[in-house]
Amino acid sequence: MSVTQPRRRVSFVGILGELFITAGILVLLFLGWQVWLGNLIEGNEQRSDAETQSQAWNKGGSSAPAPTDRPDPGEPVVAPAPGNAVTFANLIIPRFGVDYTRPIAQGIGVRDVLEYGVGHYPSSVMPGAIGNTAYAAHRTGAGSPFFDVDKLQVGDSIYVETEDGWYQYRMRSLEYVQPTGVGVLLPVPQAPGVEATERILTLTSCNPVFTASERIIVYAVFETWYPRDGGAPAELAPLTATAAR
């Protein structure tokens, strides 16, 4: 004689719980998709804005690669600082891809600058000047301009493009500091009271990814500059060709 197993009773609370779990998973997937897609769209918009600006500058100069035997460009031109939230340059980092370029605006306001690209610390010097020219951007959200900042390697080129030309810096080192570590913005980073003799570039962003518990800092040192009428750096040929279209 067989034994009949009792039928399992499904309670209303159990069904409701499963529905809530399923709904929660769907919401998380939707939000993840929205964040990823929005980030991609914003990043593409920033790249497009930078390329448009570069095209406008090239109307008075040249986007062709500079010759390898180009003459000494002399001391780099240092432009006056613009007003708050005014876009005045592009940041170009080949390590992040041949088409990586993002607009730079004056200031580090979250709503009026960092939502649209990279911000230049007003307390720091302008590109090409002796001292520390420092920049901030998001690692996540708002296009994530500095998402891969931890992937930079010693010797990598970092360019700041302005109406006057391209300023080339080379990555030297990386460190992590507390959010209050403003010493990274000094004329000689982390060296209070020391007079600057080099041209330094500093990139700052939040760390780890998706948090803001500390800051990741990248330092680079000036190598040379390329006046616009003499042609762009050969390393940027794929990007400048796109911008010239």
Residues catalogued as catalytic: 138, 206, 215
Burial class of residue 140 (count of CB atoms within 10 Å of its CB; 0-12, 13-18, 19+)? middle
Q: Whose CA is closest to 226, among 132, 162, 133, 134?
A: 162
Report the alpha-carbon distance of residue 202 to residue 200 in Å, rounded.
Answer: 7
Q: Which residues of 128-137 are buried (b: 16+ CB within 10 A; e: fewer)?
A: bbbbbbbbbb
- Retrieve residue 123's tokens: 């307390």
**Which DSSP category does 232 fall into?**
B
As a whole number of angstroms, the distance between CA 242 and CA 18 comes to 51
Beta strand pairing status for 157-162 and 165-177?
antiparallel
Q: What are phi and psi of 32, to 5 degrees?
A: -60, -45
CA distances from 194 to 128, 177, 189, 190 (A): 19, 20, 9, 9
Number of H helices, E strands in the chain: 2, 8
Cβ(130)–Cβ(198) below 8 Å: yes
Query: Using an 8 Å Cβ cutoff, are 200 and 189 in contact?
Result: yes
